Each structure stands twice: as C-alpha cells, then as structure tokens.
Chain A
Amino acid sequence: MVQSQGTRQRYDVAVIGAGVIGCATARRYAIAGARVLLLEKAADILDGASKGNSAILHTGFDAPPGSVEAACVAEGYREYLDIREKLGLPLLRTGALVIAWTDEQEAALPELIDQARANGVDDVQMLSRQETLSREPGLAPTLRASFRVPGESIIDPWSAPLAYLGQALAHGAELRRNSEVLGGRFDGEEWELRLAGESVRARLVINAAGLFADEVDLALIGTRDFTTRPRKGQFVVYDKPAAALASHILLPVPTKITKGVVVCPTAFGNLLVGPTAEDQTDRRTARLVPEALAALRRRGEEILPALKEHTVTAIYAGLRPATEFKDYCIRSHEGLNYVTIGGIRSTGLTSALGTASYVFGLTEAAGFGFDAPDEIAWPNVANISEAGERDWQRPGNGGVVCQCELVTRREIEAALEGPLGARSLAGLKRRTRVTMGRCQGFHCSARLAKMTRDVFDTPMAERLDHD
C-alpha cells in the first residue's frame, strides 16, 4: 500500500513508543497477523527508558507475589528462553548471588528465599560465607552469607528489542521514527492519530510511551490513572579485564524502594556497577553526577576490592518510569479500543515479551482477533555479544573500525541499512557498540564520521571544505 504523505493510512494496531515494551508489543500483534504501526517520537528506537538498564534477565524471584509485574516477568523470562535461539539472541547463564553484608541483611535472607519459592523460583540455594567465597573469590571477605539464584542471567539489552522489532517488520509491521503523536480522536470504531503533517487510523491504540505514558493518556483519552515519577539510575562500566573479577550477578538484599546497587558482568565482556535510585521530575534528561559515580566506584570496591586497580570505560544514566504505584499500571480502556502500559520500572527488559502477551490477552478478551499467518518468520539479529561468534572472526569483514569493541566495517554498514537502520550515533552505538569501549571514540570517530556522513539526521561533523 503506497500512499503519499498527508493522506490517511489504516492499521489494525498503532503502538506508541518504540522502547523495549513497544517493540515487543509490535512483535506480539504482528506475528498474530495484525497490521501494526509503531510510532516513535525520537530519531531512533530505544531512546527513552530503555536506553539505560542493567541488562539482567530476571527470574522474578524477588517480585511481589501475585502482582502483574511478577506474572509479566515470569512469562517474559520463559518466552525469552523459548525464542532467543531462533532470533540469534545471547544468554549468559551467570546466576545471581544475593549477598548479606550485615546481621540484619542476613536475617532477611530466609524470607527472600520463601518469596522466591512463592514466585515459582524454587532452585535457590542458601550459601554460607565460605561457600560464597569459594564460588566468588573476589568478594570482600566481610560478607555474611548469600543465596544463589541459578536462573538469573545476562542478555544484550540492545539486540533483544531490535530482534523483536525485526520480527515484527518481517510480519508487515511499519516503524515511523521522528513521529510524535500530537493528538487523536476515537469515533467509536477507529482511532485517528494526529502526527506532524499527517494522520493515521488504527482500530486499536496501545500506549507504550514509557516516561510519557501518562501524558499520552491525557492527550488521547483525557484522563490518567497514574503519574510518572522518573527515578534516575546512574551506572559505571569497567574495562574488560575487570570482568574476570565476578562470574555471578552480585545483588544486595533489596529494600522496598530499590533492588540496590548491582555488580554484574555484561554481555559485552565488561563489568557493570549500578544503578543509583534518585527520584526527579525531569523526564528527559538523566544527568550524570560525579559524586554519585564516585560513590558507585567506592561501593563496587567494597564488594570487589580488586576493582580499585581497574579503569572505567563508560558512564551512563537512565530513567525508570516509576509511578506512585508499586506494580505495573496496565489498563485496557474498553469501549475506547485503547490500552495503557505504564509504570514499567526496572524489570521492563525481562518482562517485555510477557507484558506484550498480557496486553494481547486483554485485547483478545475484549474481542480483538486477527488472521494468524501460516508461518512465523524468525529473522536473525547480528550477534554483538561475547556469547557467540563475532563478525571480526569471519573473513570479508572489511577490517576492524572500532578497536576497543572489535566492530567491523561490515557490521557498521549493515547497521546503517534497511528500515531499521541507525540514523544517529546513539542508534549506531546501540546496534554495534562502536565508540562504547575504553577509548570512547579516540580511534574510530574519524572513520565513523566519513561512513555516516550522508546517513545521520545530524552529522557527527561538518565538512571542512564547505567553507
């Protein structure tokens, strides 16, 4: 269906927001046979809450039993394991240790183990101080005890949503970037969504706008059930030699407010320390604060003393779309053909597939059905993690461009092509990891500027000969 700009276009489902939840939701409806439009206001996907997380695939052992979050996390975890090989997605089965450092924390462990079992995670295992240290010799010997959650794993937080969206596109979904929803109207049968310079029609609208979900609700249905209360998380990433210091995800005993500061390996062979948990009103900017980053370094060194001798590769901050409620805020507005997915806090990466299925179930119950395709396509996403073979290991790769992360010319060219191609340096980083290593662009900026000159919406640099 080719239509010129400014005309109306019809879809079964319009999903607002191409974060990890929006990508998974677009996938869920597309593989069920729906004609899906995914709308993203930013220049690229994953530009909001999804761009800063700890990349952990949670078992949900510490989720509040009986909550929507617990159900979505458990289902998201299960489905990720089920489909990841078919999409070429990595999994590092590191397991997690929940570590008690004080008497009080040690006393809290049995209750956490009970909670894990109530959540269906029954392979947890209590470890004494000695047993913990023999599994993780790098830990500070001041720890008291721990328990091990074997199923907690590390994944690639960029490739997973990219793979979900890739599968959606293979099933006819469309992605529009730089497409903010400015308003809309429901005529009793169909929604008309107003974008800059055009409008689109869809039977069903799903609001997956993350940090802005409450504002989108106000704009489209005139009411909201919750208010976003952004909670900032800052992170410090250590260079690759530090990854040898820990083989597990190292978790503190959680509090009511936060899961606390985690030390964990990454899918890219680094070591991560974070996040902080800082409430703020600004929904757009996650400001890095040197004192907080230095405190994270110190916390990391208290947990793994040898970390003192390692260097920081990257720093970043993300915003969790928390609300005044502890649980997710997912609501189907029946009679309005409209679903809101709000309040997806720390667990969104894990729960995305489960959340998408949960929402699909709600709309199915409300009478939305589609003609399922005869066959489901499973397009593979390129592996950029340490868990599988990388392009630099294969011939014809065009040579390495980003030396720290060993990103090849062929990988970069592929990431710039097609309907999902990167249109900004941030987007290219997330698809390939260029400039995300220890030198932060010292070596590859010049070559990247040349390769992306006519591709990015905002070029990395202007040409000198334009004067």
Chain B
Amino acid sequence: MTRLPAEVDVAIIGGGPAGLSAAAELKRLGVASVLVLERDSEAGGVPRLCGHSPFGFREFHRPMFGPAFARALVARAREAGADIRPATTVTSLGPGPRLTVTSDEGVAEIAARAVLVATGAREASRAERLIGGSKPGGVMVTGALQGLVYGAGARPFRRPLILGTELVSFSAILTCRHASIRPVAMVEPSERIVARAPSGLLPQVLGIPLYLATDIAEIRGGERVEAVVLATATGDVTIETDGVVVTGRFRPESTLARLGGLEIDTHTGGPSVDTCGRSSEPGFYAAGNILRPVETAGRCWEEGRAVARAIARDLAAPAADRGATVTLAEGPLRYVMPQRLSSDGPPALNELQLRADRPARGRLSLRAEGREILGHKVSVRPERRIRIPLPAGNYPVQVVFEEEP
C-alpha cells in the first residue's frame, strides 16, 4: 500500500454507509482528492456484520444481505476514485483541519480542506447501563456477537438471554439462529416491544419467552455467565443462561469529535450541526449515525451524500454566518437534530429529526419568539421517527411538546 497522503481536499473519518456515500458523491462532484479512513480491517461499516436482509433498496434498488451491501458501497466509492484506507485509526483532530492517524506504519499527520466525521454509533455497554452482578465472560452487545459469529466463525454461548426489543435486538436473534444459538428469554424494561411489527412477532414465532416490564437485577457467574436474576413486576425470577446480549440504546461514537473540540449536543450525544452538516469547528462536518441514535443504513447513506454536496459547495465558496439555533423545550422529547439552521444554499438535512424518551400524546409545535409556526397533534413512542419540516427563514426556533394529561 502506498503511503498516506499528507494533504487532501476532503478526509472522511469512517468507512460506513455515510462515509462511503459521501466519498462517492464528492468524487462525482469533481473534488480532486478524497480520503476515507477506516479503522476496521475492511471498510463497509456495521452492515458488513449483519448477515441478514434487507439492505440496499434505496441505494441499489434491490434487497441485499448486509455484507454484499457493504461490498457494493465500497466498490462504488472506489470506482468513483476515492482513496479508501482500512486499518487506519484517527487518534486526534485539530484546527486546520488536521488529523493524526495511526496504522501499522506508525503515526502520520494529514491536512485537509474539509473533514467529514462519519464515525457512526454503537450500543450502550453493560457498564454504561450500570447492570449489576458479577463480571463473567459472555456478556456482550449485539455488535460484538455479530463480529464473533459472522467475523470469527465463533459461538460465544449456546443459551443466552437478550436484553432489549429494539430493531437491533431482533438482529441479535437472527445472528443467534445463524450460529445455532437458542436464546432462553428476551427481556424488555418498558411495557411494550420497542420495535415495530413484524420484528416484534419474532420471539413468539420462535418460541422465545418474552418478559416485558422486566429488567436485569443481577448477572451471576464466575468465568462464564451461569444465571441472570430478573426483576419483574411480580418479583425476582432466576433464569439459567450462559450469556447475555445487551442490545440497543445506541449512542453516537463521538469521543474523537468531543476530544477534538467539536461542540457536543448532550441530548443526541453527537456533534451539534447546522442543516448543512457543519459542526461548531471550521472545516469539520458530520453525517450519519454520529449525529443521533439511530437511523437505518439507507438513511445514513442518503445523509452522507447530501452533506457531501454541502461540503463541495463550501470548498468552492466558503459558508456565510452561523445559522440560528433550534432548541428543545422540556418534555417527553429526547432530542432535536440539526441543532442549527443555515442561510446559505439548500439544506443537506432537510427536516428536523426528533425522538421521544417515552410514549406520550400531545401537540407538537415549532415556535419562533413564542409564536407557533406550525403544529399538530401527535402520539409518540421511543425509538420511532418524528419529523418536522424545516422553517423557511433563518431565525431561532424552539420545538415544544405540550403533553395531554
């Protein structure tokens, strides 16, 4: 492999759907040098380890398995002329923009005219969720399970318990089935399955006992998991199991951005951006699941492409002032993204994306100087898309959710 270039037009951190679609689009728009830095040994991102359908409708107009989809994204970016470097980790960001990277060759510095941070999201770990008990082997997130099964041809347990009922939780079940692993139970802290049907029917179809309104009270075991104590509405239940898959509760992989000085929105957990994907720091952009937890690969792909167009425009003619702020009033809503509007050029992120913390009904409205610009009655649930069209002008707006009792 040739040495890393010292200077490029655009450096993209992360070779997943958002980063790869941005790379292809930037090359299509005539940007001379586009470098994709991927820390894993192969580019492609999370779909690479999703050995199941459906991917690819939006991008390739046909249903595909995750790995084939990932390979197609890489091929498309490479054919467009992007320089894709796997096994290369970005260790810090600095003004300029500049990047410090490491690979087998040691450390290198790269100067870029623009940097797109597309580092994606990951699931919350057992530690982050403060799950109690001992610390045996065999407790892992879905991503690690998929890596072991599809990446290493390995089976870490035979009868695990699955915590969570998000879309990814059902991906965990499919991964288990691929490796002849039989989950003993699926556990959901809230009162309803989080994911939409038909995924929600999977436990029933496969005969996996489902515990709603139940949380893990304690993990037991020495070297390996031996049992899990569940706190249910009617008391503690002990289930013998040899593993725990801690699924979902995604959060943006934003530590690099945060350490690099990009302003982080504590509600999304990702960098604050305007409707063109510009972060708080000049020359740094963000797209894909680093912006918010969590969207499908297809939407990330689309977002990467749209932000790429904004970057290409800015390279030709630098952006004007910072846009007005978009804020969120207290209530059942967890976040709103983007966090700023923009006055120049068509927006890359063409709607306000919201998520709720808990189920609620009420009036969702957008206000400027206390006056309602638009609003309607809605019913919201966690992990479901909520969208509001962008306001027409560039003035501060607030998203308000007035809950019905």
Q: Using a CB–CB distance below 8 Å, which chain A residues touch chain B?
A: 237, 239-241, 284-290, 293-294, 297, 309, 311-316, 392-400, 403-404, 406, 424-425, 438-443, 445-447, 449-450, 458, 460-465, 467
Contact = CB atoms under 8 A, between A and B. Distances in A.
Contact of A288 (B89, B132, B143, B152): B132
Given A239-B255, A399-B87, A403-B89, A460 B130 contact: no
Given A314-B127, A439-B125, A464 B154 contact: yes
Interface in B93-107: 102-107
A367 B264 CA distance: 65
Interface string B81-95: 000000101010000
Given A395-B104, A400-B102, A403-B39, A461 B155 contact: yes
B135 A461 contact: no
Contacts, number: 158
Contacts of A458: 137, 223-224
Interface in B7-44: 39-41
A459 to B, nearest CB: 8
A290 B141 contact: no
Contacts of B39: 400, 403, 443
Given A290-B132, A449-B152, A462-B154, A393 B106 contact: yes
B179 interface: yes
B153 interface: yes
A400 B259 CA distance: 19
Contacts of A240: 255, 259
Contacts of B224: 458
A289 B132 contact: yes
Interface in B252-292: 253, 255, 258-259, 264, 266, 269
Interface of B: 39-41, 87, 89, 91, 102-107, 122-123, 125-128, 130-135, 137, 140-141, 143-144, 147-149, 151-157, 179-180, 218, 222-224, 251, 253, 255, 258-259, 264, 266, 269
Given A241-B255, A312-B130, A464-B153, A425 B137 contact: yes
B133 A288 contact: yes
Contact of B156 (A241, A440, A460): A460
Nearest to B39: A403
B180 A311 contact: no
23 contacts: A241-B258, A284-B222, A287-B133, A288-B131, A293-B130, A309-B264, A311-B269, A314-B127, A315-B130, A393-B107, A395-B105, A396-B106, A403-B89, A440-B125, A442-B122, A442-B140, A445-B140, A446-B147, A447-B41, A447-B147, A447-B152, A449-B154, A450-B154
Given A399-B41, A465-B153, A311 B106 contact: no
